[in-house]
Amino acid sequence: MPSPRIRRVARPGLVAPGIVALLSAAVAPLAGQDAVIREEENLRAEPNGVVISVLYSGTPVEVVQEQGNWLEVSVEGWIWTASTSAWDQAGYDRRVSADGGENLRAQPNGSVLAVMEEGALLEEVERVPGWSHVRRRAWIWAPSVERQSLPARTEAPATETAEPPRPVTPSAQGVFRAAGPAAVLGSPNGDTLGVLSTGAEMAVTGRQGNWARVRMEGWVWIPDGQELPDMEAATGEGSLSVDLATVLADPTGYDGRIVTWRLQFVSLESAEAIRTDFYEGEPFLLTRPLDGQNARFIYVAIPPESLGQASGLTPLEEITVVGRIRTGASALTGSPVLDLVELRRGG
């Protein structure tokens, strides 16, 4: 799975570390109560201590106790088991081991609640194939938490996440309307591209288990004088397309960029659990560059609506792939992984 980018929220000078011990006597235990995160905020090992996670707006937590302007809360969710390792310290039995950290989700393959830092310790509650239900108690800046009564959370049974990719049907089309803040990912289990506001709408163009492929239109402010490339260059051989050698030289510098590469198709594969940059069973093209640069393979993840086209490819056929860089260096082999945007047969 791709390493998520963690954006820390600065809270300088709220409580001096040396005062923490003096305040400990004033800690007032509270009855467990439901609350939600009002705005994106750091979760810390102790008041004003080391950041172990970033909680997204709308994430439910249970308030355990308060200490001045700090609350100790309990947060739980599901994390990709392969991104953790066994641990035994201070009552915690799992440790986030993935480079750059890992997403914490409301359910296996569900919406992202938080990003756990690499090294964060967790208590495992239960496990299903590929996923661990985990819990963590830590501290958060109190004004960022809204206390309220929440309805019981009813998540889909974990076994539903094992559903294999299925073809897109007309009934899969429609409009998704965000009932609350909703993260938009670059791919299933991928990096967060943005967060939808409550009520925002996106057109659903495909379905894959509990995931929906979506498209939206909107407006962004572009300052006067900023030059824009033409639309054809954005998905063609123009200036926006980063070449393979540039990506190989800086594997972490181009995540999310659109590229257009001429490749040689080798085979259509299905990702095993060991390939942590994919979700298990995700279909992908095994390809290689035509010029043999560093004899690297390139993996191209295939969305359900393109699976029929990909199935018709012939081994060693020359193809042109327009794709978004999921990662410049996969965890298993160090090869680039693309999310397919467009597939063209021939050169």
d(C-alpha 101, C-alpha 59), whole Å: 18
d(C-alpha 252, C-alpha 168), whole Å: 32
For the chain, which residues make up each domain, given as ranges?
17-147, 161-215, 231-345
Closest CA to 260 of 284, 285, 232: 232
pLDDT at 147: 83
pLDDT at 299: 95
pTM: 0.41
pLDDT at 228: 60
pLDDT at 188: 60
Please list the ranges in the chain whose pLDDT falls under 70: 1-33, 149-174, 186-193, 205-210, 217, 226-241, 292-295, 347
d(C-alpha 149, C-alpha 136), whole Å: 21
d(C-alpha 337, C-alpha 322), whole Å: 12
The pLDDT tens digits of the residues spanning 161-174 come to: 433 333 333 333 46
Helices (H), 18-153: 20-23
Contacts of 76 (CB under 8 A, 6+ apart): 125, 133, 134, 135, 136
Beta bridge partners of 223: none
pLDDT at 189: 55
Tokens matching residue 342: 């467009």
Q: Which amino acid is at 242?
A: V
Parallel, antiparallel or unpaired: strands 112-116 and 121-128: unpaired
pLDDT at 229: 53
* CATH label, 231-345, candidates 3.30.1130.10, 2.40.37.10, 2.60.210.10, 2.40.50.140: 2.40.50.140
